[in-house]
């Protein structure tokens, strides 16, 4: 398996798109994470306030993208279709997501999609708006975003690094609190956290 697993919905909600993408990590942002992976729909538990936060993002006009590292796939721990079943449960609880991108790889697979690499964010941006960032300079200035409101929410520095490479506003959360911790900042137009990837 070379690239990420991509699930595309792009529902027509009747809400006007503001041109921006909200990139969200999954575990520790929308649902409780686990050191041993979330292995089934039954193990997926939504964090308090996550559904409401995603609803607020939609009402603000964002397209919603989930980017999640799930190396259980390349470790051979799951049967085919497991990630789609987990994501169905997720969307049953927080609503339909425009694009879900899953990196199945391990560190040693040296892919371009496992965060902190930006491959999943760029794939989703190409799908939604036919534009993406084509280069990375970890030591340079933070790149300009495709849309000034683009944002990334995650619980790890690898999320912040991936978001940094596409110029997104960065919001780091506590993994036990999730997106509810930062939704008011996002709504108020906060420029996001200061962050250097290296
Ligand atoms: Zn990957």
Determine the Cα angle at 88 with ends 178 and 22, to 5°.
Answer: 45
Active site residue 155: no
Residue 193 in domain: no
Residue 197 in domain: no
**From ligand 1's centre to the CA of 160, what distance in Å?**
17
**From ligand 1's centre to the CA of 74, what distance in Å?**
9
How many domains, in total, are found in the chain?
Answer: 1
- CATH number of the domain within which 32 lies: 3.40.50.1000
Active site residue 27: yes
Residue 115 in domain: yes
How confident is the model over 4-61, as pLDDT tens digits?
999 999 888 788 999 999 999 999 999 999 999 999 999 999 999 999 999 999 999 9
Q: What is the DSSP letter of 10?
A: -
Range of the domain at 140: 5-187
How confident is the model over 180-198, as pLDDT tens digits?
999 999 999 999 999 999 9
Determine the Cα–Cα distance for residues 101 and 88; give it in Å rounded to an integer: 13
Q: What global pTM score does this model have?
A: 0.97
Residue 25 in domain: yes
Residue 196 in domain: no
Query: Which of 25, 98, 155, 159 is flagged as catalytic?
Result: 25
Residue 19 in domain: yes
**From ligand 1's centre to the CA of 188, what distance in Å?**
33
């Amino acid at each position: 398996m070379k690239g990420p697993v991509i699930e595309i919905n792009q529902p027509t909600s009747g809400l006007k798109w503001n041109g921006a993408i909200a990139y969200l990590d999954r575990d520790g942002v929308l649902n409780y994470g686990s050191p041993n992976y979330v292995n089934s729909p039954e193990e997926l538990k939504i964090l308090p306030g996550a559904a409401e936060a995603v609803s607020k993002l939609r009402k603000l006009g964002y397209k919603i993208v989930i980017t999640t590292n799930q190396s259980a796939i390349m470790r051979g721990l799951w049967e085919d279709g497991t990630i789609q079943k987990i994501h169905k449960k997720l969307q049953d609880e927080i609503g339909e997501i425009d694009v879900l991108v899953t990196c199945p790889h391990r560190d040693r697979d040296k892919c371009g999609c496992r965060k902190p690499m930006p491959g999943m964010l760029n794939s989703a941006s190409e799908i939604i708006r036919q534009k993406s960032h084509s280069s990375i300079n970890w030591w340079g200035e933070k790149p300009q975003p495709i849309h000034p409101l683009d944002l990334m929410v995650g619980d790890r520095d690898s999320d912040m690094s991936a978001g940094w490479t596409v110029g997104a506003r960065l919001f780091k959360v506590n993994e036990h609190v999730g997106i509810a911790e930062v939704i008011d900042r996002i709504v108020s137009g906060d420029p996001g956290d200061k962050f250097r990837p290296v």
